[in-house]
Each structure stands twice: as structure tokens, then as C-alpha cells.
Amino acid sequence: MTQTPDVSGGGIPDATAPGTASDGTPVELVAAGELAGVPDEFQRLWTPHRMAYIQAGREPMEQNCPFCAAPGKTDEDGLIVARGRSAYVLLNLFPYNSGHLLVCPYRHIATYDQATPEEVAEIGDLTQQGMRVLRAVSRCDGFNLGMNQGAIAGAGVDGHLHQHIVPRWASDANFFPIIAKTKALPQLLGDVRRTVADAWAAGAGAA
């Protein structure tokens, strides 16, 4: 019989011995083999912090544009690192790498050809500044820059134009995302936002 660890941290008791939850509530421990489910070859990486995204589902993304909503929030809540006149910069909520930035116009436009000359110029300027800031704070070795235009081209939010700035390091490529469909990120979004925003404000993005 497979024994279940004591949740109170006291080692591995008998499989049916009572345990104590972190709040002091008694719990009955049951052998894993007696529970519902079929064992398989997959490992489980528990990420409870992502429940906010799962519970939100697709509905908020489709009905309320996140890139229109972000500027109305505090920088911390909106994950914003810099604000310009016609465009701003924020962290990607679903980053490929730590420090993955998005440059968005304030106006709700879908494609690059709809942007005004002023918006195009500022998106370009903020992209350059973002690269300099990320290079200063993270010592990255390169970048992936790009825009996915339309859902068919892979845009997650296809209604609002956004430029990706993805920092890359010589050692960031491995088999984890390919085999496990999982990306390991060493820093929390709030910590990354604070570091990048502070460096930006200090002039690290200046030419």
C-alpha cells in the first residue's frame, strides 16, 4: 500500500492515520491507490497562481481588450513599465522569457498599417528603449522582435496592435518547453516589472 505523507510535516505515517492541515483542521489520509484516477507517465507541475487566468477564461479577452484596460490601472496592476504620449510598454502576462515586453499604442487599432506616423515613431522609439533597458538589467545576449497581425497569424489579442520584445540568452534554449510544454521562469512578474520600470525611469533606455 502506498503511504501518503503527513501534511503536518511529521514524516510518513500509516496510510490511514489522521493528519493536520496547515490551519489545524484534522484530515484523513488515504492511500493514493484508493483514490479516483488512473496513473500515467506524466509529471505534474502545480502552478496555483495561474488560476486567475484559468478562471477568467477567454471571455474577458474577447469582450474587454486588456491593452485598452491596462493604461487605466496603476502601473503595478497593469504591469506597465513605461508610458509615452501615444504608446506604452508593459510586461506580457504570458511571457516566453522573463522580461518579455509588449509595446502598444493607446488607440485600439488591429494592424500596423492603421497606426499614425506618430504612433509608428513612438512604438519604434519605445522598442529601442526597451531593448536597452533589458540589456542593462538582464545582460541578455539578443532579442526576438515582432508583431503577429491577426488571429490567423498567431496574435493572442488580435484586435489591438502590440510589438513583442523577447530577451534571449545563449543558455535559454532547452528541451523543457518542447517535451513538457512548460516554460521555466525564474522571476515573478511583479519583481520583473519593478526592476525594468526602475531602470527605465533611471535612464537606462536612453540612447
Number of neighbours of residue 129 by Cβ within 10 angstroms: 23
What pTM did the predictor assign? Answer: 0.66
- Catalytic entry in 49, 108, 160, 162: 162
Backbone angles phi, psi at 163, to 5 degrees: -100, 130
| Whether pLDDT at 125 is above 90 | yes
Per-domain boundaries in the chain: 1-34, 67-200
Taking residue 108's Cβ as centre, other Cβ atoms within 10 Å add up to: 13
What residues contact 35, with CB distance under 8 A and at least 6 apart? none
28-42, 99-113, 135-149, 163-177: which has the minimum mean pLDDT?
A: 28-42
Which residue type is seen at 51? M
Instruction: Identify whether 164 is a catalytic site residue.
Output: no
Cα separation, 42 vs 21, in Å, equals 27
pLDDT recorded at residue 14: 40
CATH superfamily membership of 67-200: HIT-like (3.30.428.10)
Q: Is the pLDDT assigned to residue 180 strictly greater than 50? A: no
Provide the pLDDT confidence category of residue 144 given band limits of 50, 70 and 90.
very high
pLDDT at 6 over 60: no
pLDDT of residue 157: 87
Of 17-21, 105-109, 123-127, the poorest mean pLDDT is in 17-21
- How far CA 57 is from CA of 53, 60, 63, in Å, comes to 6, 7, 11
Mean pLDDT of the chain: 79
